[in-house]
Amino acid sequence: MKVAIIGAGNGGIVAAADLTEKGHEVTLYHSKSALKDPHPNIIDGNVSFKGKLIHFEQYTQDPKLAVAEADVIMTCLPTNILLEIFKEIGPHLKDGQMIYINGASSMFSILIHQYLNETRPELEVYIGESMSLTYAARYDYTANEAEVILYSEHNLFSAYPAADTKIMLEKLDALYDCFVPAKNIMEPALNNGNPESHPAPAILNTGFIDNHGDEFYLYKDGVTEHTIKVIEEIDVERQEICKALDFDAVDKSERSIRSKYFKEGASLQEQYNTSPILKDLLGPTHLENRYIVEDVTNGLMLWKSIAEAVEVKTPTIDSIIHLTRLMLDDEHFKNPLTLERLGLDARRDLNGQV
């Protein structure tokens, strides 16, 4: 298929290499507003992958060239910049194309759907997102070398509206074999592992991050015998939200074993501390990191709004949100992702529009 990958960061470059090797025709789009240019070899369409040079179809900063002929448009970007990127590519989309948000799920498909309805009401495209990125990926800029450390498994996926999920997966399954259809767009968001894994141990280690951030490893240093209790309680509250919505309530350990990030036979703390996928990831090196800002404003605050709609109490989630707001500037919290912003009601939309 012809695949447009939106975002030439680490995830986008690895995806370009991986999908090219699988036989797909890949165009890699890098916005002119991006803060950093990619490696010169990427601009020429070349990247090292699995010990050989991969040449993908093209690199471009022209949004029309990027998406005009694509079957699938896949974003590999932080959610907080997705709307701005769609202002660039939106005018060039065509009927029948599929937009796949590949990353940590936060129901952002709804905002893209709303934006396109407002700006191009005649356009008919498919939009959906997965629970998490389809693989753990690394990219070495100096060597221009892309690496897939792990292909995810049991990755929940939903289109918005959910009635389009089957149609989208008929095409997306040709790219990745990890997808499991979710009941609706809320289910992948409530199984996104980042909001329970990142903010709490980061906030509880604020002093060390402020003074020694460039030496901080969240998974093996920040997750301790004490901070794990907070992570576990956040997970309990998340499971209660899932139960209220009639979703499977699977705990953090089992979910991560299922997706191959954790190994069986250890406590949750040990699983975080020793995960070969996670333990050597440096950071966050400061509190304005996406592990905190994005995973609170687009993660925990979304979960809290869903919990309120289905009358589930979330005191631990509330406390982490409160502490984060105390420590960071109000600027970060002006427009968080909530059901109100998305225009949804959890109970009303459970088996309907979502």
For the stretch 205-216, pLDDT in tens is 999 999 999 999
21 pLDDT tier (thresholds 50, 70, 90): very high
Instruction: Work out the pLDDT band at 49, boundaries 50, 70, 90.
Output: very high
Distances (CA, A) of 158 to 128, 168, 246: 6, 9, 16
Q: How many residues does the chain have?
A: 354
- Cα 228 to chain centroid, rounded: 22
Does the structure show a pLDDT above 80 at 353? no
Of the candidates 272, 277, 25, the residue with the CA atom closest to the CA atom of residue 16: 25
Closest CA to 98 of 83, 78, 118, 116: 116
pLDDT tens track for 151-203: 999 999 999 999 999 999 999 999 999 999 999 999 999 999 999 999 999 99
**pLDDT tens digit sequence for 60-91:** 999 999 999 999 999 999 888 999 999 999 99
Residue scoring higher pLDDT (252 or 352): 252
At 270 the three-state DSSP class reads helix
With a cut of 70, say whether residue 344 has pLDDT above it: yes
- The answer on pLDDT for 228 being more than 70 is yes
Q: Is the pLDDT of residue 346 over 90?
A: no
Residue given tokens 């093209």 in the structure block:
58
Assess contact for 46 and 78: CB atoms under 8 A: no
Range 110-115 contact pairs with CB under 8 angstroms and sequence separation of 24 or more:
110/160, 110/185, 110/342, 110/343, 110/344, 111/82, 111/83, 111/337, 111/341, 111/342, 112/82, 112/83, 112/86, 113/160, 114/343, 115/83, 115/86, 115/90
The pTM assigned to this predicted structure is 0.95
- pLDDT at residue 35, as a whole number: 75
Say what percent of the chain tops pLDDT 90: 93
- Nearest alpha-carbon partner for 108 in 159, 169, 172: 159
Nearest to residue 19, comparing CAs of 126, 152, 172? 172
Supply 85's token pair. Answer: 């990127």
Which pLDDT score is estimated for 63? 97
Cβ count near 78 (within 10 Å): 16
> How much is the pLDDT for 354?
72
Residues in Cβ contact with 255 at an 8 Å cutoff, skipping those fewer than 6 apart: 191, 193
Q: What is the pLDDT of residues 107-140, one digit of tens each?
A: 999 999 999 999 999 999 999 999 999 999 999 9
CA atoms within 13 A on the CB side of 320: 33
In angstroms, the Cα distances linking 233 to 70, 252, 320 are 43, 11, 11
Mean pLDDT score of the chain, rounded to an integer?
95
Q: Averaged over 237-257, what is the pLDDT?
A: 97
Residue 347, pLDDT above cutoff 90:
no
Quick check: bond before 181 cis, omega within 30?
no
Answer whether residue 348 shows pLDDT above 90.
no
Q: Return d(Cα 77, Cα 12) in angstroms, integer.
A: 8
Predicted confidence at residue 271, as pLDDT, reads 98
Angstrom distance (rounded) from CA 4 to CA 174: 15
Average pLDDT over residues 295-304: 97
